[in-house]
Amino acid sequence: MGLSIEGLTVWLGKRTVLDGITAELRPGRVTALLGPNGAGKSSLLRAMLALIAVESGRVLLDGCDVTALDPRTRARWLGYLPQSAELAWNIPARSLVELGRAPHRSPFAGLDETDRAAIERAMALTDTVRFADRLTHELSGGERARVLLARVLAGEPDWLLADEPLASLDPAHQLDMLGRLHGFAAEGRGVVVVLHDLSHAARIADDVLLLSEGRLVAFGPAADVLEPERLEQVYGVGFERVGDVLVPTPPRNGEGDRAR
């Protein structure tokens, strides 16, 4: 199930936050969404989920405009892991994960065997079984982030759109999360993930979509896009490769202004 972004322009307030973005995202691959703060990464994810209105252009999922899909179908096809791990509901972690099955069943139906198997699998994958009975407000930020991932995985979406999923995780769980995202794509599903750490992107991404000020700077295989000179132009700091890791270095001219 391919995900095509065609000439997407989004205005928020009076600002153009996305300006004519076009990219053909492929399932079975991890696409990292990169760019400085305010580049439009979250807005692009939200537009792909039909959570914000677009001014022009469209997003096609398996050839269907996402805005024309009924919400349950959209939720079955597109799983969303938002940036904030804040939760309104203080319910046991397992109950939260169970909510991930909602798009698969009618509102008042109980969980069936398929639902229970998907929930157990998602909780095992995210290492959340051991706090399944604890209330979500009593979990640490990282534990809550993993429960939220479990909720999305329980829905078995065709695409997973994750906004900075590593933000509150310790290094072990960051690597684990990267492995999960990679494994999800290896099953033939699609992954779009917003990342700030370019080393993580270099490690996990098959493709990179690089944004700056709402415009597409580059889209293509990670090895081609993650080019130190291009990154320096976009981020305003230098990058050098240390082994397979991209390490930021201070701006060469010492001024820190972005070359635009």
Ligand X SMILES: Nc1ncnc2c1ncn2[C@@H]1O[C@H](COP(=O)(O)OP(=O)(O)OP(=O)(O)O)[C@@H](O)[C@H]1O
- Residue 198 beta carbon to ligand X: minimum distance, rounded to whole angstroms: 13
- Residue 226 beta carbon to ligand X: minimum distance, rounded to whole angstroms: 17
Please identify, using beta-carbon distances, which residue of 40 and 155 lies nearer to ligand X: 40
Which residues bind to ligand X, rule: CB under 6 A? 12-13, 15, 17, 35, 37-43
Please identify, using beta-carbon distances, which residue of 96 and 191 lies nearer to ligand X: 191
How far, in Å, CA of 98 to CA of 17, rounded? Answer: 35
Spatial neighbors of 196 by CB under 8 A, at least 6 apart, are 34, 164
- Residue 47 beta carbon to ligand X: minimum distance, rounded to whole angstroms: 9
- Residue 235 beta carbon to ligand X: minimum distance, rounded to whole angstroms: 11
Please identify, using beta-carbon distances, which residue of 118 and 161 lies nearer to ligand X: 161
Please identify, using beta-carbon distances, which residue of 41 and 74 lies nearer to ligand X: 41
